[in-house]
A and B are shown apart, each in its own frame.
Chain A
Amino acid sequence: MRTAGERSAGGQIAGAATRASASGGRAFDPLAVREDFPILRQKVYGKPLVYLDNAATTHKPRVVIEAIERFYENDNSNIHRGLHALSERATAAFEAARDTVRRTLNAADLREIVFTRGTTEAINLVAQSFARPRLRPGDEIVISTLEHHSNIVPWQMVCEATGARLRVIPIGEAGELDMKAYEALLGPRTRLVAIVHVSNALGTINPVERVIEAAHARGIPVLLDGAQAVAHMKVDVRALDCDFYAFSGHKVYGPTGIGVLYGKVEHLEAMPPYQGGGDMIASVTFEKTTWNRLPYKFEAGTPHIAGGIGLAAALDYLDRLGLEGRAAHEQDLLVRATAALRAIPRVRIIGTAPAKASVLSFVIDGIHPHDIGTILDRDGIAIRAGHHCTQPLMDRFGVPATARASFALYNTRDEVDALAKGVARVIEVFS
C-alpha cells in the first residue's frame, strides 16, 4: 500500500487525482486512489472493509469532505439574496458548482442545470411539470423493464391522474433492451420516452443514442435516468441530444441529498414550476405571482448549498483522475469478477448484456440472496441483496431478489478475489 497523500511544497495534501494529473495521466493506480477515501481504511468484524455496494452509494474522497467542511467553516450563508460578504461567497460557490455540472454534462447553458435532491426528485419534476399538463386520456409514456422504481412510479402517478397509459419495452435474456419491440411501441400517442441509461440492478448500458434517435424521428422527447451512468462514462447531453437527463450526487462520489436535472431550455421555459416557495419567484402579491428565471424557477426554497459544492468537488476530482484509466480499471474488475463467479458451481449471473457497467448481479441455486449478504458481511464484504428497487425486473427473471456486487474506481482485484472466496464459503455453509 502507498502511504497517505504526500505533502506538497505548499503543505497541501495531494490526492491521487492531483498526482495523476501532475504526471500527465500515467496509468491508473487504484491503490493510490484508495488513499483519497478515508472510510476505506476501516475494518468491520475485524476484517478489512471490502465495499462492493457502489451502485447503492459511493464513498467520498477527502476533497469532497473538505469542500463541505470548508463551506460550513468559512462561507456558510444563504444564497441569492444576502448583501453581505458571506452570502456573496456562498452564492458564487454554489453557482460555480452549477457551472461544473454544466461542463461535466457538456450542456450549453447554465439555465439548463437544475439542482434537485437527487435523480428521483428530478424525474418527479419532469413527470409533474412537463408530462402531466400535456397528457390526455389514451396518451402513452414508454419506459423499459429495466427501470428503477423511481422511473416507474412517477409515471404511474401521472398516468393515474390523466388517463394516460404506461407502455413497457421488454428485454432479452441477457438483460438487453429489445430495440425492435421499442420501435414498435413508439406511436402517435407516445408523448415521452423515459429510460434508464445504465441499469442499477444488472449493469446493462442501454443504446441511448439509438433510443433517442428513434424517438426524435417521431418528434417524441426522451428523458434519461443517469443515476448509474455518470460515475462510469462520459455523458454529453448535447451529443446525445436528450431532452432531460437526471443524476444523483451520491452515486458519483458526492454527497447525498443533491442531484441534477438537465433539461433543454425550451422545455424548461415552457414548464410550470414544480414547487412553490422562496427563490423561485420574481415577485409575489396576493393577487399574482410571477416566476423567477431559469433555473431558479425550479429551485424553490433554500437548496442544499453545501451539497452542490460537494458535488462539484466530486466531479472535479473525477475530471482530474481522467476517465480512460478508471473506466478500464472498472471493466477489468467486472471481467475478473464475472469469470470468478461463473467458475463457481450453482452460481448464476443475472444480466449478461455485451455492454455493461461494473455491476454484477447473481443468484446461487437454493440459497437466498439475504443469506449470501449476511455471510459475506461477516467477512467484511458489503454487497446488496434484494430487489434493488426493480421488482418488475426481478419478476422478469423469475427471482425474488439477487445478490449484487458493484465496483467503483477504488476497488481492487484483491477485493474481487475476496468476493469469489466469500461466495464459495457461502456455498460451503449451506452444503
Chain B
Amino acid sequence: MSELGDLYQEVILDHNKRPRNFRALPGADHRAVGHNPLCGDRMTIYLKLDGDVVTEVTFEGSGCAISKASASMMTESIKGKTRAQVEALFKKFHGLVTGEPPASGADLGKLVVFSGVSEFPVRVKCATLAWHTLRAALEERTEAVSTE
C-alpha cells in the first residue's frame, strides 16, 4: 500500500474532493479543451492574462482524482506567473511525474505531492492533462488537445 499512499496523498485527495477554481470563467481571454481519449476524460481551462501575467485561471470537466487534483493545484500555482515562469514550472512538473532526476530552476512548491505518479506510468497522462491543456490555451490553439 505504500506506493498507493504515495500516489493518493492527503493533499491530492483533498483537491479531488474540493477542487479549487473549479468553474467556468466568464470573459476569459484564453480557453482550451483537453481530452484523454483512452478514458474519455475532458477538461476545459479558462485564462485571463494581463499582458504576460496570468491573473485568473479556472477549470471544468470530469476526470480521475489525479487529473482533477493536478488541475486544481495547477490553477493555484500559476496565478500571478508570467508565461515563461509557467513554462518552466510545467517542464519541472513533467520531469517530476515521469521520474526524471530533479532539475534546477522553478520551485515546484506544493506540486511535489505528485512525485508518486512516477511509480504509475499509465497515470502520467492524468497528471499532465491539465498542463497540456493550459499550454494550448496560452498558445490559443483552438482544436482540442489530446493526450494521445
- Chain A positions within 8 Å of B, measured between CB atoms, are 366-371, 374-375, 378, 385-387, 391, 394, 400-401, 429-430
What separation, in Å, do the CA atoms of A369 and B62 have in the docked complex?
A: 11
What separation, in Å, do the CA atoms of A128 and B42 have in the docked complex?
A: 33
B126: interface (CB < 8 Å): yes
Instruction: Please judge, given known A-B contacts A368-B64, A370-B64, A371-B66, whether A378 and B40 are in contact too, CB under 8 Å.
Output: no
Most chain B beta-carbon neighbours within 10 Å: one of A374, A387, A391: A374
B39: interface (CB < 8 Å): yes
> Considering the complex of A and B, which 5 residue pairs feature the smallest CB-CB distances, nearest first?
A368-B64, A370-B64, A387-B40, A400-B40, A371-B65
What separation, in Å, do the CA atoms of A429 and B3 have in the docked complex?
A: 13
B63: interface (CB < 8 Å): yes
Residues from chain B with a CB closer than 8 A to the CB of A386 are: 38-40
What separation, in Å, do the CA atoms of A401 and B16 have in the docked complex?
A: 17
Instruction: Please judge, given known A-B contacts A375-B4, A429-B8, whether A401 and B40 are in contact too, CB under 8 Å.
Output: yes
What separation, in Å, do the CA atoms of A387 and B35 have in the docked complex?
A: 14
From A385, which residue of chain B is reached at the shortest CB distance? Answer: B39
Most chain B beta-carbon neighbours within 10 Å: one of A366, A370, A391, A429: A370
B13: interface (CB < 8 Å): yes
From B36, which residue of chain A is reached at the shortest CB distance? Answer: A370
27 A-B residue pairs with Cβ-Cβ distance under 8 Å, sorted by A, are A367-B65, A368-B62, A368-B63, A368-B68, A369-B39, A370-B64, A370-B66, A370-B123, A370-B126, A371-B8, A371-B65, A371-B66, A374-B4, A374-B120, A375-B8, A378-B3, A385-B39, A386-B39, A387-B39, A394-B40, A400-B39, A400-B40, A401-B40, A401-B41, A429-B4, A430-B8, A430-B13
Residues from chain B with a CB closer than 8 A to the CB of A369 are: 39, 64
A424 to chain B, nearest CB (A): 14
Residues from chain B with a CB closer than 8 A to the CB of A375 are: 4, 8
Residues from chain A with a CB closer than 8 A to the CB of B68 are: 368
Contact between A391 and B1 (Cβ–Cβ < 8 Å)? no
Contact between A374 and B7 (Cβ–Cβ < 8 Å)? yes
What separation, in Å, do the CA atoms of A374 and B126 have in the docked complex?
A: 12
Instruction: Please judge, given known A-B contacts A374-B120, A378-B4, whether A391 and B40 are in contact too, CB under 8 Å.
Output: yes
A225 to chain B, nearest CB (A): 21
A217 to chain B, nearest CB (A): 38
Contact between B1 and A378 (Cβ–Cβ < 8 Å)? yes
Residues from chain B with a CB closer than 8 A to the CB of A374 are: 4, 7, 120, 122-123
Cβ contact of A430, chosen from B7, B62, B65, cutoff 8 A = B65
From A391, which residue of chain B is reached at the shortest CB distance? Answer: B40
A227 to chain B, nearest CB (A): 20
B133 to chain A, nearest CB (A): 16
Residues from chain B with a CB closer than 8 A to the CB of A429 are: 4, 8, 13
- Digitize B38-80: 1 where CB-to-A-CB distance is under 8 Å, 0 elsewhere: 1111100000000000000000001111101000000000000
A266 to chain B, nearest CB (A): 40
Residues from chain B with a CB closer than 8 A to the CB of A394 are: 40
What separation, in Å, do the CA atoms of A394 and B62 have in the docked complex?
A: 13
Residues from chain A with a CB closer than 8 A to the CB of B7 are: 374
What separation, in Å, do the CA atoms of A386 and B62 have in the docked complex?
A: 13
- Digitize B114-137: 1 where CB-to-A-CB distance is under 8 Å, 0 elsewhere: 000000101100100000000000
Residues from chain A with a CB closer than 8 A to the CB of B8 are: 371, 375, 429-430
B72-92: which residues lie under 8 A (CB-CB) from chain A? none
What separation, in Å, do the CA atoms of A366 and B19 have in the docked complex?
A: 12
What separation, in Å, do the CA atoms of A388 and B62 have in the docked complex?
A: 17
